Structure 1
Amino acid sequence: MSMSPQAETRRNLALLTVMLAFVLDIADSTIVNTALPAIQHELAASNAAAQWMVAGYFLSFSVFLVAGGRLGDLFGYRRLFLTGVATFTLASLGCGLSQSADQLVGWRVAQGCAAALMGPQVMAVVQVLFSPTERIAKLAWFGTLGGIAAVLGPIVGGLLIAANPMGLGWRAVFLINLPIGLIALAAGARFLPAARASGAQGLDFAGTALLGAGLVALLVPMVQGPGLGWPLWTMALLAAVPLIAALGLAHARARGRAGKDRLIEPTLFHDRAFTLGLSASVCFSAGVSGFVLVFALAVQRLLGRSPLDTALLLAPFGLGVSLGIAFVGRKLLPRLGKWIPFTGASAMALFGATVLLLVPGAPPTLLLAALLVPTGLAMGMVAGPLTPIALARVGHAHAGIASGMLKTAQQVGGALGASIVGGAWFAGQGTHSAALALAVVLGGAALCALALPRTLFGSTGEHG
């Protein structure tokens, strides 16, 4: 069925609107990295507070992500998108006006909650606007944009601090979201369809609470423990994580027997490709967020480089990421399968750890830039293929919940990267321990990729 030029234009403007929001929430997960030294200095923030400025965003995003998708099904994708954008814009204003580290951490958590309302509506709108064949090309753009936006965050942050508009300093990193948010609000109200899911069920409040409790029990000790000497309460929280996970699985099974929506689908874990792809995503996301965080901090603190220098140094990394996603991973994945993410994760562990180990010795800028290109290329080789690999054998009946679980795993990995790799740096402000932590988490991603089935795309529907 043909579409009028006006309708086609409106549809493309709607796509651009949700793309803008998509880039905004991903870039903001890392934009604070370059600004952290300046923030710590001005707000007298502790190392733990600095970690929470990064991890708090990922944590709240991961907890409320699936709930945000359910709310869109219930109340309409446009309404939830506009609510999320408006809340994100207000939270960004709060970040920019913060007068203490605790205030900034609180507003970063609020940003993550808002992103969880906004983010799921992006893919829902794509589903509504485009046919299955049209979605292939559109979703490919989101895969490319996602990897680039994660690197774009700290680059834009460094450029903004260097420009120092209106003397705002690091606050410009957050306040830049205000005009962008207002544009997205106006465009969303005008161009997005007022659609919702038919037969949508209520929220899984208990499942959301258990997910939040499990993540808090895991992350709070890992961020606070090293600085406090690992008191008994931190060990007790960590010991509670397996129990909370078991309760979460039991709760999900009970809701499934009752025919109700749930945050996770336990039967998906029977699929080796999905389970290993999910695990690899957690490890890989931890490696990416940890590397970008520690590199931005080390270059400024150990080499005395400015935020602008740091941003320019990360540009070759971003170039490598875009090349890895757009060309290497996407073109070779159908033929080489699991060997693409295995090679990418292994190479990123090698090059990324090497970069961190070299920084204290003040290596030539050209050497760092030269090493950052293959580091980014290796990241792109994993970032592009992991999602289609994890979802390769998931049937249509569970496609939505599997995608939600995968996205949640990626956000959890981001938080873990700030606490594990970032924590290793903050523990002694040295890159050797951070490089080791980076190699371990990316090595975990490589091992998960290596254990994937040899044939990934030959059969589907086991869970449909």
Structure 2
Amino acid sequence: MASIAPRESHASFDPRHLSPRHKMLALLTVIIALVLEIVDMTIVNTALPAIKASLGTDAQASQWIIAGYSLAFAVLLLAGGRLGDSYGYRRMFVLGIAGFTLSSLACGLSATAGQLVAARMMQGATGAIMAPQAMALVQVIFEPLERVSRMALFGLIGGLAAISGPILGGLLLAANPYGLGWRSIFLINLPIGALAIIAGLMFLPRTRSDRPAGYDLVGMVLFGLALAALFWPLIGAGDSASPVITAGCLVCVIPLVWAGWRHVTARVRAQRPALFDPVLFAIPAFRTGLAISIVFAASSAGFLLVFAFAMQAERGATPLFTGIMHMPYGLGAMFGIGFVGRNLLPRLGRRVLVIGAGMMLPAVCLVLTGVTALHWPWPVIAVFLMLCGTGMGMTSGCIGPVSVSRVDRQHAGAASALLKTAQQLGAAFGIAVVGGVYFWWGGVHHLPALAAAVVIATLLTMCVTLSLRLPHRIFDTP
């Protein structure tokens, strides 16, 4: 049995005091949180028809079951990162897991659509406390070059979790354990969450930032409102709202961000607790990494949305076959993250991101053209999907370690939350913009997918351009 996590004081914590075995057990512990977060974002899609039949949900409630989780998660990520910096990454990790587990229980016990939506929003809120601590702990426990292989493992497991979510949901619905039906997709989190809590208390080190602890309630409110105003139209939660309300939300974003920035700057200058330190944005690798995260997440999410719709609407594939055709992409992504990116990043630096996004660009266009206009055989499309996934993995697996390579450990929680928020924002933006272009064309033959491919290619070109702005030698001391 591994020893209980050491009780270092926060200021004196040194990751070199942890044995390699202890570090690996800590890494496996935070990976459990990663799996819970990703699977719960995708597993519900499979069960929505069963939930709708059981609870009698209408279209708007069904949408909120998905969107409520995403909205609460995105809005509270920055607050979750700050809480870890202030009160300890292990403490907030365990509290986040506990809250997520209890929220999953509430989802499984929901008797009405309203109760389920509320419980899903609680899942998103507690997930926002849990998720930033995972990357923050990796940043605290491992040295910059060590993080490359550890974050590659994150990518591998994350890719598997994303693929497994819909499959696991289908298996649970088919097996119908104890007659629970769709409730089993939430209740399965209970034993996993309990395991994560026990492992967190045993293996995670007691550490936090040495910056001033405490709440920055005003900063949380200002940036939370800004993110809510931005995400509301992007994730589709505002479909039932009038265009005036949607436009009003978007107009409010800039003044809220400006007020929030002035607020946190003044708090840091006065040496008081702040949501994040603006000095993070003075680090070129971190600032550029955030921009790459947004653009690349937009291109990836937009491609997956259009590919799934084009397969069924324009090629006549079944939902099951469409799901199977995602597997080459997922396998390529795991190869790109776990092998190519991990081995080449320390030697090639920013060129790995350039090569990855550059490889994905033509592959995306060929896949969408082959599915729609050219009607290529499925094995040919599968080859290009694997190339597309490999490029995706090479890029996405390297963005994290590159972005935080020169971030001081005392900013680990805030930096992780900002990076995660950027990814969420990019994905929502990609679905809104690329999906909007695709659906705008209506029933025009082949043009929707080709127009979407042009937008995705433009985003990937931006990703290549931004990657070239990264430092030449990323992991050297500046």
Give the superposition deviation at 1:322: 0.8
Cα pair 1:17 1:184 within 8 Å, conserved = yes
RMSD: 4.0
Give the superposition deviation at 1:353: 5.2
Structure 2 equivalent of residue 68 of structure 1: 80
Note the 1:220-299 alignment, pairs <5 A.
220-224=232-236, 231-293=243-305, 295-296=307-308
1:194–1:435: structure 2 CA closer, same or farther, 3 Å change rule? Answer: farther
- Which of the numbers 183, 187, 192 marks the counterpart of 2:195? 183
- Which of the numbers 402, 405, 411 marks the counterpart of 2:415? 402
Does residue 1:381 correspond to 2:397, yes or no? no
Sequence identity, in percent?
46
Does residue 1:106 correspond to 2:122, yes or no? no
Amino acid corresponding to residue 356 of structure 2 in structure 1: G
Does residue 1:456 correspond to 2:472, yes or no? yes
Does residue 1:80 correspond to 2:92, yes or no? yes
1:368–1:407: structure 2 CA closer, same or farther, 3 Å change rule? Answer: same
Structure 1 equivalent of residue 385 of structure 2: 372
**What's the secondary structure of 2:133's corresponding residue?**
helix
Structure 1 equivalent of residue 11 of structure 2: none
- Which of the numbers 229, 238, 251 marks the counterpart of 1:217? 229
TM-score, normalised to structure 1's length? 0.80
1:191–1:385: structure 2 CA closer, same or farther, 3 Å change rule? Answer: closer
Cα pair 1:51 1:422 within 8 Å, conserved = no
Does residue 1:23 correspond to 2:35, yes or no? yes
Amino acid corresponding to residue 457 of structure 1 in structure 2: R
Give the whole-Å Cα distance in 2 for the aligned partners of 1:228 and 1:357. Answer: 34
1:459–1:18: structure 2 CA closer, same or farther, 3 Å change rule? Answer: closer
1:244–1:314: structure 2 CA closer, same or farther, 3 Å change rule? Answer: same
Cα pair 1:37 1:297 within 8 Å, conserved = no
Give the whole-Å Cα distance in 2 for the aligned partners of 1:55 and 1:160. Answer: 22
1:313–1:441: structure 2 CA closer, same or farther, 3 Å change rule? Answer: closer
- Which of the numbers 462, 471, 474 marks the counterpart of 1:447? 462
Note the 1:300-379 alignment, pairs <5 A.
303=316, 305-307=318-320, 309-352=321-364, 354-356=366-368, 364-379=377-392
Amino acid corresponding to residue 337 of structure 2 in structure 1: I
Greater share of helix residues, 1 or 2? 1
Structure 2 equivalent of residue 412 of structure 1: 425
Deviations 1:193-249 (A, max 9, x none): 455555651122222212221122122234559956962222222122222222222
Aligned length: 458
TM-score, normalised to structure 2's length? 0.78
Give the whole-Å Cα distance in 2 for the aligned partners of 1:401 and 1:227. Answer: 31
* The 10-residue stretch of structure 1 (103-112 or 432-441) with the greater mean CA deviation from structure 2: 432-441
- Which of the numbers 173, 182, 185 marks the counterpart of 2:185? 173
Amino acid corresponding to residue 440 of structure 1 in structure 2: V
Give the whole-Å Cα distance in 1 for the aligned partners of 2:61 and 2:465. Answer: 36
* The 10-residue stretch of structure 1 (397-406 or 85-94) with the greater mean CA deviation from structure 2: 397-406
Cα pair 2:280 2:287 within 8 Å, conserved = yes
Structure 1 equivalent of residue 16 of structure 2: none
Give the whole-Å Cα distance in 2 for the aligned partners of 1:97 and 1:298. Answer: 37
Note the 1:86-125 alignment, pairs <5 A.
86-98=98-110, 102-125=114-137
1:240–1:132: structure 2 CA closer, same or farther, 3 Å change rule? Answer: closer
Give the whole-Å Cα distance in 2 for the aligned partners of 1:443 and 1:192. Answer: 42
Give the whole-Å Cα distance in 2 for the aligned partners of 1:71 and 1:230. Answer: 35
Give the superposition deviation at 1:25: 1.4
Give the superposition deviation at 1:93: 3.1
**What's the secondary structure of 1:276's corresponding residue?**
helix
1:199–1:207: structure 2 CA closer, same or farther, 3 Å change rule? Answer: closer
Deviations 1:137-167 (A, max 9, x none): 5444334433443444344344444555456
Give the whole-Å Cα distance in 1 for the aligned partners of 2:179 and 2:359. Answer: 41
Give the whole-Å Cα distance in 1 for the aligned partners of 2:60 and 2:257. Answer: 25
Deviations 1:258-289 (A, max 9, x none): 12233343344344443332111012223333
**What's the secondary structure of 2:215's corresponding residue?**
coil
Give the superposition deviation at 1:321: 0.5
- Which of the numbers 141, 145, 153 marks the counterpart of 2:157? 145
Cα pair 2:439 2:448 within 8 Å, conserved = no
* The 10-residue stretch of structure 1 (409-418 or 223-232) with the greater mean CA deviation from structure 2: 223-232
Name structure 2 gaps, 5 residues minimum.
Answer: 5-18
**What's the secondary structure of 1:31's corresponding residue?**
helix
